[in-house]
Amino acid sequence: MQRPGPRKGIHMRYNNPIIPGFYPDPSICKADGRYYMVCSSLQYFPGVPLFESRDLVNWTQIGHVLTRESQLPLKGAGSDGGIYAPTIRFHEGRFYMVTTNVSGMGNFYVWTDDIYGEWSEPVKVQQGGIDPSLYFEDGRAYFMSNGDDDQGISGVTQCEIDIETGEKKSPSRCVWQGTGGRYLESPHLYRINGQYYLMAAEGGTEYGHMVVYAKGPSVNGPFTSYPGNPVLTNRNLGGYVIQGCGHGDLVEDERGNFWMVHLAFRQIHQWMTFHITGREVCLVPVTFQENGWFTAGVGGITPTEVETDRIPDSVVQSRKLRDTFSDTRVGVDWVFLRRPHGEDFSFTETAYRLYPTNLALGEKQDSPAFVAIRQRQMRGQIRCNIQVSEGEAGISLYMDHQHHYDLAVARMAAAGGAGDVYRVMTRSVVGGVSHVVEETVVRADTEITLRIALEPMEYSFSAVFSQQGQETSCPLGRLQTRYLSTEVAGGFTGVMIALYAQEESLTGKGAEPAVFTDFEAAYEVE
């Protein structure tokens, strides 16, 4: 159902999304022949995932920008809280990342001279709104966000700041009010071929999302809207799996071509308007016309497959289709909910040990014993061996504290004082209502492998029990994916594959850890 791209002079093809899974609000810059990208992280710690690429289609996560609690206080942050919409810029040998912590700090930026090292403590900016951005010119630094200016006028708001202190050097003033679509956001300013381009998004980060822009003669405008706005959108296109295209950022490659990275999401089916993997990163070409206006995408849309002669045919897009303990890293691929409890975790390349706490997955203020990796594709298989000494532990397909599916193992005393047993169960939590779907009881000396089969519209849960060399497979129910979708749960995240441990009766330390081994999330791409 995707509209084909041009076929003349084709060098290569790549597929969208270029970074699958919950990585919304991408921003990009170029430095020393390489490209760097950041994305929103909302309630997860560390914050602001940081990626690197040499060719724009293959990306490696090299870390996070916000790695200390002093940079990232997240207490009480939900799936609609925490870090919104970062922007990364490179200026005079220094990287800057500006963002909003809507759960506490407001607008701030950090900087580093070493992209692989630590970033500074936050520098706060006294301008409201969200989705901030920086623009540098002639020794001046300009700060932009959406919201109201000092006169109460709503739109893209701009002021000059002291880049060393974050202090305002000019009043905040509205420089553009967009094209009339709701939720004007993600403003970015560029100077290209002597013209100034102000790009933003409208329509809300959902099915009406779109990229719009205007151009003007100076950093202050006045800005005239592009007559063909929106320049990029998949709205009103039935049958397209990719939807919600918006919140873009421009970059010029080494050959003088321009590109846009932007967010979008994939429906679970072309006719089923639910999405579970969150907002993801897509890439489309940008073409400037002789009159100074530019177009984006393929006929103004983002297709699943893009054919281009702008990237050499020696470049082959690779897709990571397998996550294990040995090829992923804690604090990079694996993240924590709100904040880490260092004393509750122990990680190696072969085993993760989680010490249970009395904080359950329904906790909405603090951080349970929980470590998670993003669900990257809609088809695949998850498996993990688990040993539980006390309490409950397992795998949670986690959207938020009120929407998650848990494949759990609980250690409990058998009836009649006959020793301990394992209760193995699938639990559905939707809208805060908890329901055990299927369960079984096995001896406590049983080796247990948990398994979850991933399909776009359904999760299937099972366990494999091993006793004295004999294996038994036990189905433990099926649940529809749509009840973990953004359309049902709300918020701005995607499904996370979480390992957790909990014991509600604990009042102090000393619990024995749950041990997770042989973890694998193996994916298929349609």
Q: Could you report the per-residue pLDDT of 6-53, keeping only the tens digit for each? A: 445 557 999 999 999 999 999 999 999 999 999 999 999 999 999 999
Q: Which of 25, 249, 344, 503 is catalytic?
A: 25
Q: Could you report the per-residue pLDDT of 139-161, keeping only the tens digit for each? A: 999 999 999 999 999 999 999 99
Q: Residue 414: pLDDT above 90?
A: no
Is 147 within the bounds of a domain?
yes
Average pLDDT over residues 253-260: 96
According to the model, what pLDDT value does residue 510 have? 60
Q: Do 297 and 340 have their domain in common?
A: no
Q: Do 442 and 379 have their domain in common?
A: yes
What radius of gyration, in Å, describes the C-alpha atoms of the chain? 24
Q: Do 53 and 172 have their domain in common?
A: yes
Q: Do 392 and 514 have their domain in common?
A: yes
Is 185 in the active site? yes
Is 317 within the bounds of a domain?
no
Report the largest interatomic distance among the alpha carbons of the chain, rounded to a whole angstrom. Answer: 84
Amino acid 214 reads: A
Q: Could you report the per-residue pLDDT of 198-235, keeping only the tens digit for each? A: 999 999 999 999 999 999 999 999 999 999 999 999 99
Tokens representing residue 247 in the block: 């919140």
Q: Do 119 and 182 have their domain in common?
A: yes
Q: Residue 254: pLDDT above 50?
A: yes
The DSSP element (H or E) to which 488 belongs, if any, is helix 486-489
Average pLDDT over residues 369-373: 96
Tokens representing residue 512 in the block: 């024995």
Q: Residue 487: pLDDT above 90?
A: yes
Mean pLDDT rounded to a whole number for the chain: 94
Q: Which of 131, 149, 160, 185 is catalytic?
A: 185
Q: Could you report the per-residue pLDDT of 171-182, keeping only the tens digit for each? A: 999 999 999 999
Tokens representing residue 94 in the block: 């220094």
Q: Do 258 and 352 have their domain in common?
A: no
- CATH for 16: 2.115.10.20
Kindly report the length of the chain.
Answer: 526
Residues 522 and 526: their CA atoms lie apart, in Å, by: 14
Picking from 308, 330, 354, the residue at the C-terminal end of a domain is: 308
According to the model, what pLDDT value does residue 508 have? 55
Is 26 within the bounds of a domain?
yes
According to the model, what pLDDT value does residue 5 have? 45
Q: Residue 507: pLDDT above 60?
A: no
- CATH for 374: 2.60.120.200
Residues 79 and 494: their CA atoms lie apart, in Å, by: 9
Tokens representing residue 114 in the block: 């070493």
**What is the Cβ-side half-sphere exposure of residue 145, based on CA atoms within 13 angstroms?**
27
Is 316 within the bounds of a domain?
no
Is 142 within the bounds of a domain?
yes
Q: Residue 452: pLDDT above 70?
A: yes
Is 7 within the bounds of a domain?
no
Q: Model confidence at 416, in pLDDT bands (50, 70, 90)?
A: low
Domain extent at residue 454: 322-524
Residues 64 and 74: their CA atoms lie apart, in Å, by: 15
Please give the tally of structural domains in the chain. Answer: 2
Spatial contact of 65 and 50, defined as CB atoms under 8 Å apart:
yes
Q: Do 125 and 169 have their domain in common?
A: yes
CA 519 to chain centroid, in Å, comes to: 22
DSSP-based helix, strand, coil % in the chain, nearest 5: 5, 50, 45
Q: Model confidence at 281, in pLDDT bands (50, 70, 90)?
A: very high
Residues 260 and 277: their CA atoms lie apart, in Å, by: 21
Picking from 277, 308, 339, the residue at the C-terminal end of a domain is: 308
Q: Do 294 and 348 have their domain in common?
A: no
According to the model, what pLDDT value does residue 7 have? 47
Q: Which phi-psi region, left, alpha or beta, contains residue 34 (left: φ > 0; alpha: ψ -120 to 50)?
A: beta
Q: Do 392 and 300 have their domain in common?
A: no
Residues 461 and 436: their CA atoms lie apart, in Å, by: 12
- Write the CA distances from 133 to 7, 120, 308, 389, integer angstroms: 37, 17, 30, 49
What is the DSSP secondary-structure string of 448-471?
Answer: EEEEEEE-SSEEEEEEEEEETTEE
Q: Do 263 and 355 have their domain in common?
A: no
Is 1 within the bounds of a domain?
no
Is 314 within the bounds of a domain?
no
Query: Which residue, chain included where needed, has tokens 């301990």?
Result: 420
According to the model, what pLDDT value does residue 144 have? 98
Q: Indicate the range of 1-5, 24-28, 333-337 predicted with least confidence.
A: 1-5
According to the model, what pLDDT value does residue 4 have? 43
Q: Do 112 and 218 have their domain in common?
A: yes
Q: Do 125 and 26 have their domain in common?
A: yes
